[in-house]
Amino acid sequence: MKLEDIKTEKDVRNCLEGYSEFEKAVYVETFRIPKGKVTTYGRIAKAIGKPGASRAVANTLHNNPLFPVVPCWRVVKNDGAFGGPKDAAAGRSPLSGLRRFPNTKLANTIIILRGYTA
């Protein structure tokens, strides 16, 4: 299946043959994040029933085989910063329209970014 043909969660799962159930769950949960919203690695981990696995979620998304269909750039660290190496994380800022707000905890699973549609 071509990336542009992926429209549903079932399509995402079907494209992930050979991946672990954990990886499939992470990619499907990330696929569900609406345009203009973000969540954290920890919230993804909790949503898939693995509350202590935020680092594993981050590692899984780092290897996202379905980019840009699965919007891994909509997942951030608990403090609102982008994960990964600083040079790579800096490159994601234009993709998401989000900037880091020091000393701020994300209060909800998803936050709204006004005026952002990607």
Residues 6+ apart with CB under 8 A from 7: none
Structure letter (DSSP) for residue 36: T
Active site residue 15: no
Beta bridge partners of 76: 40
Catalytic residue chosen out of the listed positions 15, 44, 72, 75: 72
Q: What H or E segment, with its residue span, contains residue 39? A: strand 37-40
In angstroms, what is the C-alpha Rg of the chain?
A: 14
Peptide bond connecting 68 to the previous residue in cis, omega within 30 degrees of 0 = yes
> Which residues are designated catalytic?
72
